[in-house]
Structure 1
Amino acid sequence: MDYLIDDIDRQILACLAEDARLSLKVLSGKVGLSSPSTAERLKRLEEKGVIQGYGARINLAALGYSLQALVRVKPLPGMLHKVEKMIQALPECIECDKVTGEDCFVMRLVVRSIDQLDVVLDGLADYAQSNTSIVKSSPVTRRLPPLH
C-alpha cells in the first residue's frame, strides 16, 4: 500500500489518534476545512486502508488486569503452526508479533495474577519454550510515528 498523504491528511490522522470520537464539525474546524471536504478525506483515507478502524483506549488495570507480560515464544520442532493457532486463541494475548531471530513470536499478555500467568504459560509448555518479562511500566504507549 503506497498512498501519499498531504499535510491536511496528517492533521486529520493526528487529531483522530488523539481523540477518535471527535465530531466531524470539530475535526473540520481543527484542520480548517468544511465538513463535506473533511468527510470526503476521511472516506478516502478509510478506502485506501490508511485508517483501518476507530477504537477506545481501555485502562486494563481498571478491569482487574493488574499484570502485563511480554513473552518470547520459540515453538518446538514441527509445532510452529500449532503454537501460532494456540496464541491466536488465547484471550489473555492482546498483541502478538511473528519475529525473526531465535524466537518466533513475541506476545503481550494481560492477566489478573501470577497464578493466571502460570496457567496460560503452562498451556504452551508442551509445544514451545518461552521467556517471560513482567511489564513494570509503559513509558511509551502505542502512538503514531512521524507522519512526514
Structure 2
Amino acid sequence: MHALRPPISPGWIRLSPQSTSDRVKRLEDLGVITGFTVRLDPTALGLGIGAYIRIRPAMGELQRVSQLLADIPEIVECDRVTGEDCFVAKVFVPRIDDLERVIDRLLPFAQTNTSIIQSSPVRRRQPSFGR
C-alpha cells in the first residue's frame, strides 16, 4: 500500500517553480532540510524481524561498542541515550538466528536487552513545528 500525498507543484504551494526551488535550497543551506530519502519495507526485502536492542557497554568499552554498532549492517539506526543503557539500536533481520548473531557480536563488550517489534502504530514521522 502506498501513501497518497499531493504532488508538490507550484499550484499546490502557491509559489513559482523558481521560488519553490530557491526556498528548498535556502532550507538546505540553513540545515533545516538535511536530505531526501525513500522508505523501504523491510518485510518486502525479506527482513521480517525487527527489534530494538538496548546496549550497556562494559566499563571502558563505550568507544569500541559505538564503532561496533556502526559496523553492523543489520542495525538501521542507533541512538545514544540517557538512563541505564547507553545505546538503543534498531535492527532488521530475516530470522531469529540472525538476530542472535547480531547480539552475540555485542556480548563480549556489552550487556544487551532485546525487544522484538510486534507492530508499529506510529510510523516514523517528522517532528511537528510551531503552528
Calculate the TM-score normalised by the size of structure 1.
Answer: 0.82
Aligned Cα RMSD in Å? 1.2
Report the equivalent of 1:145. Answer: 127
Counterpart-to-counterpart distance in 1, 2:41 and 2:23: 31
**Residue type of the partner of 1:103?**
D
Moved over 4 A (4+): none
| Alignment match, 2:65 | 83
- Give the corresponding residue for 2:102: 120
Give the unaligned 5+ runs of structure 1.
Answer: 1-17
Aligned to 1:129: 111
Supply the distance in 1 between the matched residues of 2:59 and 2:29 (Cα, whole angstroms). Answer: 41
Distance 1:54 1:28 in 2: 19
Aligned length: 126
The Cα of 1:28 is off from its aligned counterpart by 1.9
More helix by share: 1
1:110 maps to a residue whose letter is F
Aligned-pair CA distance for 1:146? 2.0
AA of the residue aligned to 1:117: L
Aligned ranges 1:1-148 → 2 under 5 Å: 22=7, 26-148=8-130
Structure 2: 5+ residue runs without aligned partners?
Answer: none
Shift of 1:147: 2.1
SS in 2 for 1:96: strand
Give the TM-score taking structure 2 as reference length.
0.92
The C-alpha deviation readout for 1:7-39, integer Å capped at 9, x for no partner, is xxxxxxxxxxx86xx5xxx43221111111111
